[in-house]
Amino acid sequence: MNKDILVVIEHIRGEVADISYMMIAAARQLAETTEGEVLAVLMGSGVENLAGNLAADKVIYFEDPQLADFTSSTYQQTLEILISEVNPRAVILGHTSIGMEVASLLSAKSDLPLVSTCLSFSGENGLIKFTSQLYGGKILAEGLIPEPIALLTMVPGGYKPEDGQSSTPPLVTTAAPPQFTDLQISIKQYIEPETGDVDITLQPLLIAVGRGIQLEDNIEIAEELAEAIGGVVCASRPVVDQGWLPTSRLVGKSGYRVKPKVYLALGISGAPEHTEGIAGSETIIAINTDPAAPIFNIAKYGVVEDIFDLVPLLTEKIEES
């Protein structure tokens, strides 16, 4: 019976993504049920130091120049071999622009069952239950993770990154990846994010607008509040895709991950794409007309009101005081 839990560590440009620590935290919980070990897999070139604070029992580090940049093929081929050698109970990957595609490729190529968008897990009597976020977080689905080996992709929200960190460095084994075959993808260059605007990752107070803002003109009400209270306006994907705010203000999976003291979400439903970017916020306050909006699940304070009624009033009151 397989027991160990593999966690595929995500890192980009020398930094471990928060989701990796959350995955370790989840793996720790699973390993208790399966009575196995948490094995972190780190792939890259010259990034051994990234393993330092992972709360894993063991880190398997694949060092290879061809792993320096992420491509789905190299990751998939490395993991395919590793999985067949380790026979883990589960492999956890981020439901991200790295983990998601690797997991799906592996599922097809190695014929392994995959459960995506997992929010949390629970184990009883050796069985592991997944809770997965579907339909933009509006629905949760539960089921047992398939036997014997399951691939799991995880969204943030269920675990805290600090639970996946440890001050004692884990045991790191360096390994060589397999001989890669049929590599078709090569990196030409990285394109840096636009700069020159404010750096939203450094702001203590962010006021975020989402689809609920409806019209470009309405962003004004958020700008006015931001000006009154001294915050910065940021947005979820639909707003930026419309070109209403620059990419430098985009929060979420495809945007920035922010860590403000207070994140005030205006008319944001809380789809996983977005919440992935705000998991590091200290306090999330959400205002939304839809009481079932998933944003309320991660918010500390919630207000079920129309932003167009409440926000101008709030601005007015702040200006008065």
Partner 1 sequence: MNIVVLAKLVPDLVEELEIDDSGIALDMTWLRLIINELDDHAIEEAILLKERTGANVTVLAPDIEGVDDILFTAAAKGADRLIKIVGDYESGVNNLGLARVLTPVIKDLQPDLILAGVEAHEDLDGSIGPLLAGYLDLPFIGYVASIELEEGKATATKEYPGGLSAEMEVALPVVLGIQVADEPPRYVAVSKVRQAMKTAEIEELEAGDFDLSGGPTIDRMYQPEVGESATIIDGSLDDIADSLIGIFKELGVQ
Partner 2 sequence: MPIRETFWNIPHWAEIAQYLVGLLTILIFSYGVIRRVRRWLQGRPQRRIDRIGSRLWSVVVQAVGQARTLQDIYPGIMHLTIFWGMIALLIGTILATVDWDVAHLLFNVQFLTSWVYVSYELILDIFGVFLLIGLGMAIYRRYIIRPDRLANMPGIGFKRDDAYVLIMLGLIGITGYLVEGLRIAVAQPDWAPWSPVGNAIGNAFIAFGDPSNRFLHYALWIIHILIAFVALASIPYTKFWHLIAGPVNIFFRSLEPAGKMSAPTSEEEPGVKEWRDFSWKQLLDFESCTRCGRCQDVCPAHASGFSLSPRDIMIKLDTFIWQPTNGRNMLGDTISADELWACTSCQACVDICPVFNDQLSSIIDMRRYLVLEGDIDPQLQDALANLGRYGNSFGKSERMRAKWTKPIQPKIKDARRDEVEYLWFVGDYASYHTSMTDKTLMMAKVFQSAGLDFGILYDGERNSGNDVRRVGEEGLFDMLAEKNLVTFSKSTFKTIVTSDPHSFNTLKNEYSENGNDHYSVLHYSQLFDQMITSGQLNVARKLGYKVTYHDPCYLGRYNGEYDAPRRVMSALGCELVEMPRNKENTFCCGAGGGRIWMEDPPEVAERPAEMRVKEAASLSGVSILVVACPKDLVMFQDAVKTADLEGKLVVKDLIELIVEATEMNLSETEEQN
Q: Interface residues for partner 1 in 28-47 (CB under 8 A)?
A: none
Radius of gyration of the chain (CA): 21
> Smaller CB distance to partner 1: residue 1 or 300?
300
Q: Contact with partner 1 (CB under 8 A): which of 100, 232, 234, 307?
A: 100
Question: Does residue 191 touch partner 2 according to CB under 8 A?
Answer: no
Distance CA 105, CA 72 (A): 8
Question: Does residue 303 touch partner 1 according to CB under 8 A?
Answer: yes
Task: Give the CA diameter of the chain.
Answer: 68
Among partner 2, partner 1, none, what binds residue 163 when CB lies within 5 to 8 Å by partner kind? none
Q: Which two tokens stand for residue 101?
A: 């595609």
Min dist CB 250 to partner 2, Å, is: 17
Min dist CB 59 to partner 1, Å, is: 22
Query: Please, how many CA atoms are within 13 Å of residue 140, restricted to the half-sphere of its CB?
Result: 15
Q: Contact with partner 1 (CB under 8 A): which of 1, 139, 171, 202?
A: 139
Mark residues 235-274: x for contact with partner 1 by CB under 8 A, - for none: ------xx----xx-x--xxxxx---xx------x-x---
Distance CA 255, CA 128 (A): 32
Among partner 2, partner 1, none, what binds residue 202 when CB lies within 5 to 8 Å by partner kind? none
Q: Which two tokens stand for residue 51?
A: 């393993």
Instruction: Give yes or no for a contact between 279 and 18, defined as CB atoms under 8 angstroms apart.
Output: yes
Distance CA 155, CA 298 (A): 13
Please identify, among the stretches 24-32, 82-90, 215-223, 308-316, the one whose residues bind partner 1 according to the rule CB under 8 A.
308-316
> Smaller CB distance to partner 1: residue 17 or 170?
17
Please identify, among the stretches 84-92, 127-135, 156-164, 212-220, the one whose residues bind partner 2 according to the rule CB under 8 A.
212-220
Closest CA to 131 of 294, 307, 302, 258: 294
Distance CA 310, CA 276 (A): 26
Question: Does residue 306 touch partner 2 according to CB under 8 A?
Answer: yes
How far is CA 33 from each of CA 1, 29, 91, 145, 166, rounded to the nearest angstrom? 13, 7, 15, 13, 21
**Residues at the contact surface with partner 2, assessed by CB under 8 A:** 214-217, 242-243, 306, 308-309
